[in-house]
Chain A
Amino acid sequence: MIIKILGSGCKKCVTLGDNAKAAAEAAGKDVEIVKVTDFAEIAAYGVMSTPALVVDDRVLSSGKVLSAAEIGQML
C-alpha cells in the first residue's frame, strides 16, 4: 500500500506521516510513505488545503492532521 502525504513539508505534514505509518503498522500492513511537496502535483489531486492524506491514489483527508486511530478506521 502506498500512502502519500501532500504538503509543503511543514511540521503538520510530518506528524500526519508519522500517524499514518503508526496506523498502517497497527493494522499489520506493509506501507510505503511518499511525501509530495510540489504544489502542482498536490493540486492535481484536487486538494486545496494541506496536509492531505492519499492512500492508493484516493484522497482520504485534506487540511487537517488525523490521529493514528482515525486513519486506522479509514484503512
Chain B
Amino acid sequence: MNVFGWMNDQLLRMQWLSDLVTAGVEWVGLDPASRIGGSVQFFVYDVVKIFILLSVLIFLISYVQSYFPPERTRRILSGREGIGANILGALLGTITPFCSCSSIPLFIGFTAAGLPLGVTFSFLISSPLVDMASVILLASIFSWPIALAYVGVGLVVAVIGGTLIGQLRMEGQVADFVRTVPVLDADETMTRNERIGFARDQVMDIVKKVWPYVLIGVGIGAAIHNWVPAETISALLGQDKWWAVPVATVIGIPMYADIFGTLPIAEALVGKGVGLGTVLAFMMAVTALSLPSLIMLKRVVKMPLLVTFTGIVTVGILTIGFVFNAITHLFI
C-alpha cells in the first residue's frame, strides 16, 4: 500500500475513527447497517472528525494568518490595478478571516485607503468562500481533485466578480461615511510565542462560534443519509433536473452557516446521487451570500452596488453549478 494513500485514508478521512465508531455502535447493541445505527454512526463519526480537523487546521492557518494582518494585506494590495491586483486580492482572501462578519471592517479599511473597488470585492468574495481549512475538509470528505477544483472555481468567481464590479465604476455607491474613515497603519511584529498564542485563541474563538452550526449540519446530514429516500432527493435535486442548481442556490443564499456546517450536508447529498455541481452551488451560496452578511453590507454600500454584488456572485455560483454537473464524471 502506498504511503500517501495510507496517510490520506487514516489522517484525513480518519478511517480508524469510522471503524472505531462502528465498533462502538455495535458494542451498544445497534446494527450499523440499520437506520438508527447508521444515523448514530454518521453523526458521531462526522462530529468527532470535523472537530478534530477544525481545531488542527484553524491552529495551522491562524499561525500563517498572523503574518498577514489586515494592515499588511492592504499595503500589499495598495497601488495595484488590473487583473493581477484582482487575482492577488482573491488569493489574499483565502488566508484571511473565516467569517463574512469580519470582512466588513476590512472592506471599510480597504476602501478608505483608496484601494480600487474591484480589488476589494475580489478579496471580499473569496474571503468567506475559499479558505485553507475548507480545502482540507473537502479533501477529507470527498477527494483532492474535488477540493482543488472547488478552490479553483472559487478564485475564478472572486476574480471575475471583482473585475466586473471594477469595470462598472461604482465607486460612488459606497456609503459616504466610509470616505472619512482615517487610515491607520500598524506595523506589528509578533514573536513566535505570540503567534502560537494568537493561533490558540483563534481555535477557541472559532470552535465556540461554529459548534452549533456543525452539530445542526451533521444532524441534517445524518437525517438525509439514513431517512430520506434517494428517490425523493433525486426527484427534487437529481442530475437530470435542470432546476437542481437554481433550487440549491436559492435555498442556500439566505442561509447563514459556515463551510464546516455545510460540508456534512453536502456529503450526504452526494451520497444520495445529487450532482457535484448542485452540491457545490449550495455550499457556495450558503458561505458567500447570507442574509445577515448582506444586511451588514447594506450599511456600507448603497443599494445598486449591493444588488450588483449579489447578482454577480449568484450568476457565478449558478455557472459553476451547471459546469460541474456537466463534468462530474471527471471527478467521481
Using a CB–CB cutoff of 8 Å, the interface residues on chain A facing chain B are: 10, 12, 39-40, 42-50, 59, 61-64
- Size bracket of the B interface: 20 to 34
A-chain residues with CB within 8 Å of residue B104 when the two chains form the complex: 39, 43
Are A46 and B182 in contact, CB atoms less than 8 angstroms apart? yes
Given contacts A39-B296, A46-B109, A48-B109, contact A10 B181 (CB under 8 A): no
Are A46 and B181 in contact, CB atoms less than 8 angstroms apart? yes
Residue B112 is within 8 A (CB to CB) of chain A in the complex: yes
A12 to B105, CA, bound (A): 18
Residue B186 is within 8 A (CB to CB) of chain A in the complex: yes
CB distance from B87 to the nearest CB of A (A): 22
CB distance from A69 to the nearest CB of B (A): 15
A-chain residues with CB within 8 Å of residue B181 when the two chains form the complex: 43-46
**Most A CB within 10 A of own CB, among B180, B184, B188:** B184
Chain B 265-307 near chain A by CB (<8 Å), digits 1 or 0: 0000000000000000000000000000000100110000000
A10 to B105, CA, bound (A): 16
B-chain residues with CB within 8 Å of residue A50 when the two chains form the complex: 105
Contact count A vs B, C-beta below 8 Å: 55
A64 to B191, CA, bound (A): 13
Chain B 301-324 near chain A by CB (<8 Å), digits 1 or 0: 000000000000000000000000
Using a CB–CB cutoff of 8 Å, the interface residues on chain B facing chain A are: 69-71, 74, 101, 104-106, 108-109, 112, 177-178, 180-184, 186, 188, 198, 201, 205, 296, 299-300
Are B105 and A49 in contact, CB atoms less than 8 angstroms apart? yes
Are A43 and B105 in contact, CB atoms less than 8 angstroms apart? yes
B-chain residues with CB within 8 Å of residue A40 when the two chains form the complex: 108, 177, 299-300
Are B182 and A48 in contact, CB atoms less than 8 angstroms apart? no
User: Within the complex, which residue of A10, A45, A61, A63 is in contact with B182, where a contact is CB–CB below 8 Å?
Assistant: A45
User: Within the complex, which residue of A10, A42, A62, A64 is in contact with B184, where a contact is CB–CB below 8 Å?
Assistant: A62
Are B205 and A48 in contact, CB atoms less than 8 angstroms apart? no
Are A63 and B69 in contact, CB atoms less than 8 angstroms apart? yes
A10 to B101, CA, bound (A): 14
Listed A/B pairs (20) with beta-carbon separation below 8 Å: A39-B104, A40-B177, A40-B299, A40-B300, A43-B105, A44-B177, A45-B181, A46-B181, A46-B183, A46-B184, A47-B105, A47-B109, A48-B70, A48-B71, A48-B74, A49-B70, A50-B105, A59-B184, A62-B186, A63-B188
